[in-house]
Structure 1
Amino acid sequence: MSETLKNKYQVCEEIGRGRFGTISRVFCPITQASFACKSIDKRLLTDPTDRECLENEPKIMTLLSPHSNIVQIHDMFESEDTLQLILELCQPYTLYDQILQPGLSESKAASYVQQITSGLAHCHRFGIVHRDIKPDNIFFDFRGKLKIGDFGSATWLGELGTVDGLVGTPYYVAPEVVMGRAYNEKADVWSAGVVLYVMLAGVPPFYGETAEEIFEAVLRGNLRFPTRIFRSVSAEAKDLLRKMICRDVSKRLSAEQVLRHPWILNGGETTSMD
């Protein structure tokens, strides 16, 4: 830990671990507030893309802060070997832990998707693509509000309004990303649609035993609603899923359009069925 960080914060217990470092709780005696410290070992960043993302992460988070559905950055310390980000402290579980619990209602799922896409719409207004939307990267603050976190894969859209690179998590990645084409911010909407599907079904829409098999299923893109699982899911929810998990990017909804979908506007409260 750098002396600069130790001068301002007390380092407490480790609360998480990532590819390139650890996350610890830190306490600021001046403000009497606790934060999360994401400590990244720069020596582990041998890939130029990873190093570029590392440099982008604090810049992107600073640009996006504050927003009620995005983890806020408060401070940053950097030495030759380490980068330390002082972030808003969230609860010790993620949306992934929450959706493992059976019986998630449509109204709760609609609330969660509304919050996720509100955060995404904010990112997209700044020309930022998150590129790794999945339940593990969606956190809860201590009031129960959802926060998008882990901007380690995020980047800015280029001059043409696109980016490239196979980035993301197999179950949640959009087909245009898998194909190696230039893609835009709607790749995040596909991922958020898969998150919604998992919330309602308890299983992902595309799966396989290996990353390659999952990618093949994503590329086939046969979105199905098995009756056994979706019997009690409303037509409006399925309509939104079809429009988010849509192979044709031009027809896929934007984050702003998701927020205006009737199922979201009605808070998932609906009685109609297919």
Structure 2
Amino acid sequence: MSPSEVFSCKYQSLSMNPAVKRRAQQDTQSSNNNQRIIATLLSLIPDREQKIQLVDIPTISVGRSRSCNIVLSEPDISTIHAELYTIEVQINGFKRKMINITDKSRNGTFVNGDRLIRKDYVLKNGDKIVFGKSCSYLFKYATLTENGLSQTTATQISQTTQNSDYDGVFRKPLFSSQNTTKKLSRTREQPRSFFDKYLAGKELGTGHYAIVKEARNKETGETVAVKIFHPQQNDDDKRTKKFTEETKILLSIQHPNIVKLIDRFVEPVSKTQIQTYLVLEKINDGELFERIVRKNNLREDETKALFRQLLNGLKYLHSRNIIHRDIKPENILLSISKRRSPEEIALGPWDDDELDIQVKIADFGLAKFTGEMKFTNTLCGTPSYVAPEVLVKTGYTSRVDMWSAGVLLYVCLCGFPPFSEQLAPPSMKEQILQGKFAFYSPYWDNIDDSVLHLISNLLVVNPASRFSVNDALTHPWFTSNNAEVTMGNERRSQLEPGRLPKTFSELSNLQK
């Protein structure tokens, strides 16, 4: 169905009258000269091909009534079954026209298999809409060009200027037709949304503030991960601008020990809510968390090789004034190259079947996407890695990452965290605020004193006295295999009866 058909339904029964027919064409021409095509409904019913193009008007009605813009004659369609109305939202720096759908029927309107209950649902590319039980359509936005026209409209206008005998509805475009063809040849397609470029797949994980799904780039076939944040209010232009600027910085990050942020999209959920989509490279070999749980604890040489990579990634972030703020084993991903033959020599102190392991820091700059207050509340859900200054909310610098790195280093070597409720009294919060921890025997008996010295200088309550990332990277534990650093015995202690730390995995489950 062409644009003229969409808006001439009320004239259909009188179309044999030449005068009425001319009036219908004039009305339709006037309407379409002022409105562009912004979306299409493509019928999914076999043997019933139908293409309904939706133009930019405030409301498009769907139903059995002949007064509706789109007339559907099936018996389970209500008089006015649904309404589509146009809203304007800002996505990726462009103001875009999008379509909200509301259900007005008895038998229901379904989007992607779910009955439409909310009054405010913004349609996305690829949505499947079913009116009643049988009228099934695929929804797709028109591709916009640089001048703001849909590709379909632009093509029709171009044809009009090249053919003076053309008698269609786009014969008299609003803007000047002078040099129109030349202008149109320079147009470029603008990515509309995540759904234009990617096809979302299975869920990979979920958290307090987002879910992670697998996705595929429609053009290249590349598999990526997409982090979809929970909806937020779209009522703060200043915050939105700041978010866009900060995202540009994160998109520029290129480092082998940091998960690459490929793209970001802001999608409208309703007229007042938006949702952030971050597209990331997909790392297939799991988290450091899983490796620790599987092994109970890591060997010292293995830990050193992994921790050096972690520090290199943090050094890169800190040099660009980016604080990670949530260093923990779940946010350290591993890209593992397997040995293909016994002749291949491992490139590090890895397991027998592993050729090399590359550390990938994930979720960097997270507070930029979730907001300071929301982010702080999230951290309190897993507080054993949180620096004291975060808990007391005194303001903090990149040294918060170094505290968390110290906790992670401790966990890797012995298999349980230095701070937990299992070690109370005092409470875990007080343990952190006081910097109260110990290297329990027998878990630390065979570990080099040098790394104990490093951990003790990372888990320092005063951030000004805490090691920086450069201090850590130049520590003797990294520069010498047999470094001897005097520790003293104040940190070493025998476990008191009933105070045996649980394994890392058991403690982690208790803290969730």
Q: Against the structure 1 CA distance between its residues 127 and 103, is the aligned structure 2 distance closer, same or farther, given a 3 Å change threshold? A: closer
Task: Indicate the larger mover: 169-178 or 229-238.
Answer: 169-178
Task: Pick the structure with more helix per residue.
Answer: 1
Which residue pairs with 1:105 in the alignment? 299
Q: Which position in structure 1 is the counterpart of 2:266?
A: 78
- The one-letter code sitting in structure 2 at the alignment partner of 1:98 is R
Which amino acid letter does the alignment assign opposite residue 208 of structure 1? E
Q: How does 1:140-179 map to 2 (within 5 A)?
A: 140-143=334-337, 144-151=357-364, 153-154=366-367, 168=379, 169-179=382-392
2:318 match: 124
Q: Which runs of 5+ in 1 are unaligned?
A: 156-163
User: Counterpart in 1 of 2:251?
Assistant: 62
Residue 145 of structure 1 aligns to a residue whose secondary structure is strand
Superposed, which structure 2 residues align to 1:1-274 within 5 Å?
2-3=124-125, 4-43=193-232, 55=243, 58-63=247-252, 65-81=253-269, 82-91=275-284, 93-100=286-293, 101-143=295-337, 144-151=357-364, 153-154=366-367, 168=379, 169-208=382-421, 213-266=427-480, 269-270=481-482
C-alpha contact (below 8 Å) 1:22/1:38 kept by paired residues? yes
Distance in structure 2 (CA, Å) of the matches to 1:166 and 1:219:
17
C-alpha distance after superposition, 1:133-187 (max 9, x if no partner): 11111112354311111136445xxxxxxxx967734101111222222221111
The farther-off stretch of 94-103 and 140-149 is: 140-149
CA distance in 2, matches of 1:95, 1:222: 25
Contact 2:418/2:437 (8 A) holds in 1: yes
Q: Counterpart of 1:129 in 2: which secondary structure?
A: coil
Bigger Cα displacement from structure 2, 195-204 vs 213-222: 213-222
Structure 2 partner of 1:159: none
Q: How much has 1:213 moved relative to structure 2?
A: 2.5
The one-letter code matched in structure 2 to 1:77 is: F
Q: Distance in 1 between matches of 2:289 and 2:298?
A: 12
Contact 2:431-2:437 within 8 A present in 1 as well:
no
* Structure with the bigger percentage of strand: 2
Q: Is the Cα–Cα contact under 8 Å of residues 208 and 378 in structure 2 kept in the other structure?
A: no
2:434–2:461 Cα contact (<8 Å) kept: no
SS in 2 for 1:79: strand
Q: How far apart are 1:262 and its partner, in Å?
A: 1.7
Please state whether the residue corresponding to 1:68 is helix, strand or coil: coil
The 3-state SS of whatever aligns with 2:442 is helix
Q: How far apart are 1:55 and its partner, in Å?
A: 3.5
Q: Which runs of 5+ in 2 are unaligned?
A: 1-122, 126-192, 270-274, 338-356, 369-374, 488-512
Aligned length: 258
Q: Give how far 1:86 is off.
A: 1.0
TM-score w.r.t. length of structure 2: 0.46
Aligned-partner Cα distance in 2 for 1:187–1:71: 20
For 2:397, what is the secondary structure of its paired residue?
coil
Matched to 2:465, the amino acid is K
Contact 2:297–2:411 (Cα < 8 Å) also in 1: no
Deviation at 1:19, TM superposition (A): 2.0
* Secondary structure of the structure 1 residue equivalent to 2:463: coil
Take 1:246 and 1:133, find their aligned partners in 2: how far apart are those partners? 16
Please tell me whether the aligned partners of residues 90 and 142 of structure 1 are also in contact (alpha carbons under 8 angstroms): no
State the Cα RMSD in Å: 3.0
Q: Structure 1 172/136 Cα, relative in aligned 2: closer, same or farther at 3 Å?
A: same
- State how far apart, in whole Å, the 1-side matches of 2:267 and 2:218 are: 23
- 2: CA distance, partners of 1:15 / 1:221: 36
Report the counterpart of residue 505 of structure 2 in structure 1: none
Shift of 1:77: 2.0
Q: Counterparts of 1:140 and 1:70 in 2: how far apart (Å)?
A: 11
Identity of aligned residues (%): 30
SS at match of 2:265: strand
Separation in 1, partners of 2:216, 2:378: 33
CA distance in 2, matches of 1:33, 1:120: 27
Whole-Å Cα distance in 1 between the matches of residues 393 and 228 of structure 2? 31
Q: Distance in 2 between matches of 1:103 and 1:241?
A: 16
| TM-score, length basis structure 1 | 0.83
CA distance in structure 1 between the partners assigned to 2:230 and 2:386 by the alignment: 27
> Quick one: distance in 1 between partners of 2:331 and 2:456?
23
Q: Aligned in 2, Cα 1:167/1:123: closer, same or farther, shift over 3 Å?
A: farther
* Paired amino acid for 2:286: Y
Query: C-alpha displacement at 1:83, in angstroms?
Result: 1.7
Tell me, what secondary structure is at the counterpart of 2:447? coil
